A and B are shown apart, each in its own frame.
Chain A
Amino acid sequence: MAAETGFEMSGVTVTFGGLVALSDVSLAVGPNQVLGVIGPNGAGKTTLFNVACGFVRPDEGRLRWRGTELRALRPHQLAGHGIARTLQDLGLFDRMTVLENVLVGATRHARTSFWSGLFALPRHGRDERALTERAMAMLDELGIADVARRPVASLPYPVRKRVALARALAGDPDLLLLDEPASGLSNDEMAEIGELIGRLTARMSVMLVEHHMDLVMSVCHDIVVLDFGKVIARGGPDEIREHPAVLDAYLGEDVG
């Protein structure tokens, strides 16, 4: 069944000026699978995510999602396709409350039109209540429902991180792109994120860029290793741990 093919990138090449950021990169994330993208700094991981979410148009290559090609993907269409992305710097709306932040993520499910929303027609009230419930459920799942009415700017970093995740999940995505979900977290918090990702695979596919090898090795089904914009290795956690090219690229760094 075509809908079962998940997310695929094939032959993606991106150049900035004369610099090759990605060169002929292909990868696939199956349904309910977790794909990890690792590599040294500057390997092209962020560019890869930027291509996947439409921020960067590749010079060559194709993106397919559930069997259909995503041509000329624009960022605002992403949520409509059921794809959500978190940003490394979180990109929270600082002067909004936690709940409002998450509600923006849930607007994908608003059924009312722009105009009825603008004039706050009665149907809109029901719609908004449903969205609020959805957002609260998401906060509850991440254990931060108690700060729902607080402005995000006042919260400590690990909580802000959960808000960003709750906001991405509020759109009920089928593919979640996580940009360094563990950075800045303690070991305990990292373990919790790992557990959460494991739970999420029951309802979505996940692609993550991450530096913390413990997390990558424990949650990913498949791993793609980038170096200088090229895929130098791919496989399951055990293969990657032993892969000579990976050990080479990470020389001096601790791989798992």
Chain B
Amino acid sequence: MQQLITTVLTGLTLGAVYAAFALALVLIWRATRIVNFAQAPMAMITTYIALVLIDAGMSYWVGFAAALVSGLVLGALVERFVIRHLTGKSEINAVILTLGLFIVIHALAALIFGARYRSFPAPFGLRGFQVGDTTIALTGFGVFTILSVVGVMVLLVLLFRGTDVGLRMRASAFNQEMARLLGVRVGRMLTLGWALAAVVGSLSGLLIAGGGLVHPSYMDGVVVYGFVAAVLGGLDSPPGAVAGGVILGLSLSLVSGYVGSELVPLASLVILMAVLLVRPGGLFAQVRERRV
């Protein structure tokens, strides 16, 4: 029982991080039909910016805010000056370009910040809470992780469902041509979409780094898990991405706790294949009516 609770709590925390990363991928996929593989190194570089500030003596929260803001700027710049040039060409060009960015940002990070492991602080405790005699596997930082991902979800829902800008962003994602005809500046909406996605990506980078080690490739595994989580949720749906993240976190935690941690990467690929074989539209795909 004790082990099950521990496994589930670890899974939930992990799932929250995957959910955030999956959300970042889905936001871009919805708007531009591109899987942004550069999301991981973009998040990594913003975490390094936070680390530099924290190491210079500033508070964790200054570093935290700086990472999110630099994520916003980086996302906007990448869309406006790199991805925009490929408008009208096949999406595969952009996907390959994001793989190229992946390598370039990696190399730059190693040059600027060094390729060694550096420890990254956490703003809250990393020890499990004490309940009576037992310690449960939920840490202060774990609670922060879950709450911040829920907070981001709520903010995104408010933005997309409750504001005019959100409405225009959704219109641009559904049908660019029509949105333009109605006076929507689609280009701006895409820039904003990439910027927001990069902020969410940065958040997941900070959450993974907290209390652990950063290295130019510390986010690389998260791309795989985040992508699997996004596909689980159907790639097209932000709530699906979050659900996919949580399901993946729990499943992998169960595999790690009861089968063996060395099987976790394999398990994630098995889940990915199973979903693609059984429900290629994702777990939450609505059954489409057949056109006759």
Residues of A near B183 (CB, < 8 A) are 76-80, 107-108, 171
Residues of chain A with a CB closer than 8 A to B179's CB: 104
B91 at interface by CB-CB < 8 Å: no
Q: How many angstroms between the C-alpha atoms of A92 and B175 in the bound complex?
A: 8
B163 near A: Cβ within 8 Å? Answer: yes
Question: A-facing mask of B169-192, CB < 8 A → 1, else 0?
Answer: 011001101111111111010001
Q: Does A34 contact B (CB under 8 A)?
A: no
Instruction: Determine whether A103 belongs to the interface, using a CB cutoff of 8 Å to chain B.
Output: yes
- The CA-CA distance from A170 to B273 in the complex, in Å, is 46
Interface status of B168 (Cβ within 8 A of chain A): yes
Mask, A118-140, CB within 8 Å of B = 1, is: 10100010011001000000000
The reply to whether the CB of B162 lies closer than 8 angstroms to some CB of chain A is yes
Pick the most buried of A91, A95, A104, A118: most chain B CB atoms within 10 A of its CB: A104
Q: Which of A125-176 contact B (CB under 8 A)?
A: 127-128, 131, 167, 171
Do the beta carbons of A53 and B165 come within 8 Å of each other?
no
B interface secondary structure, majority: helix
B167 within 8 A of A: yes
Q: What A residues does B181 contact at CB under 8 A?
A: 53, 75-76, 78-79, 84-85, 87, 91
A87 cross-chain contacts in B, Cβ below 8 A: 177-178, 181
CB-CB under 8 A for A107 and B180, given A76-B186, A94-B174, A96-B174:
no
B31 → chain A closest CB, angstroms: 13
What is the CA–CA distance of A78 and B170 in the complex, to the nearest angstrom?
A: 20
Q: Mark B127-170, 1 if CB is under 8 A from A, else 0.
A: 00000000000000000000000000000001100111101101
CB of A114 within 8 A of chain B? Answer: yes
Q: Is A100 an interface residue (CB 8 A)?
A: yes
Q: B180 — which chain A residues lie within 8 A by C-beta?
A: 74-76
Q: Which residue of B lies closest to A86 (CB)?
A: B181
* Chain B residue at minimal CB-CB distance from A78: B181
Expressed in whole angstroms, the Cα–Cα distance for A86 and B48 within the complex equals: 49
Which residues 19-58 of A have a CB within 8 angstroms of B?
53, 55
Residue in B164, B174, B180 whose Cβ sees the most chain A Cβ within 10 Å: B164
**CB distance B178 to A107 under 8 Å?**
no
Contacts of A117 in B (CB 8 A): 163-165
Q: Are B168 and A104 in contact (CB under 8 A)?
A: yes
The residue in chain B whose Cβ has the minimal distance to the Cβ of A79 is: B183
Chain A residue nearest to B187 in the complex (CB): A76
Q: A117-B163, A131-B164 are in contact. Are A76 and B184 (CB under 8 A)?
A: yes
Q: Is A228 part of the binding interface, using a Cβ–Cβ cutoff of 8 Å?
A: no
Is the Cβ of A114 less than 8 Å from the Cβ of B188? Answer: yes
Expressed in whole angstroms, the Cα–Cα distance for A103 and B165 within the complex equals 11
User: Given A75-B181, A117-B163, A120-B163, are A107 and B174 also a contact pair (CB < 8 Å)?
Assistant: no
Looking at B158, B167, B168, the one whose CB has the most chain A CB atoms below 10 A away is B167
Select B184's contact among A74, A92, A107, A128, beta carbons within 8 Å: A107
The answer to whether A76 and B177 touch (CB under 8 A), given A96-B170, A118-B165, is no
The one of A74, A104, A128 that contacts B171, using a Cβ cutoff of 8 Å? A104
Give complex CA distance A76, B185 in Å.
6
B39-73, CB < 8 A from A: none
User: Which of B163, B180, B182, B185 gathers the greatest number of chain A CB atoms within 10 Å?
Assistant: B182
Decide if B167 touches A167 in the complex (CB within 8 Å).
Answer: no
Give the interface centre of B159, B165, B174, B181 by most chain A CB atoms within 10 Å: B181
Q: Does A245 contact B (CB under 8 A)?
A: no
9 other A-B residue contacts (CB within 8 Å) besides A78-B181, A103-B167, A118-B165: A76-B183, A79-B182, A84-B182, A91-B181, A104-B168, A107-B183, A112-B164, A120-B158, A120-B162
24 A-B contacts, Cβ less than 8 Å apart? A55-B177, A74-B180, A75-B180, A76-B180, A76-B181, A79-B181, A84-B181, A84-B182, A85-B181, A91-B181, A92-B175, A93-B178, A95-B170, A96-B170, A103-B167, A104-B184, A105-B182, A107-B164, A110-B164, A118-B159, A118-B165, A120-B163, A128-B163, A131-B164
| Chain A residues within CB distance 8 Å of chain B | 53, 55, 74-80, 84-85, 87, 91-96, 100, 103-105, 107-108, 110, 112, 114, 117-118, 120, 124, 127-128, 131, 167, 171
Q: Would you list the 8 A-B pairs with minimal beta carbon distance, nearest first?
A: A79-B183, A91-B178, A75-B180, A93-B174, A104-B171, A117-B165, A76-B180, A117-B164
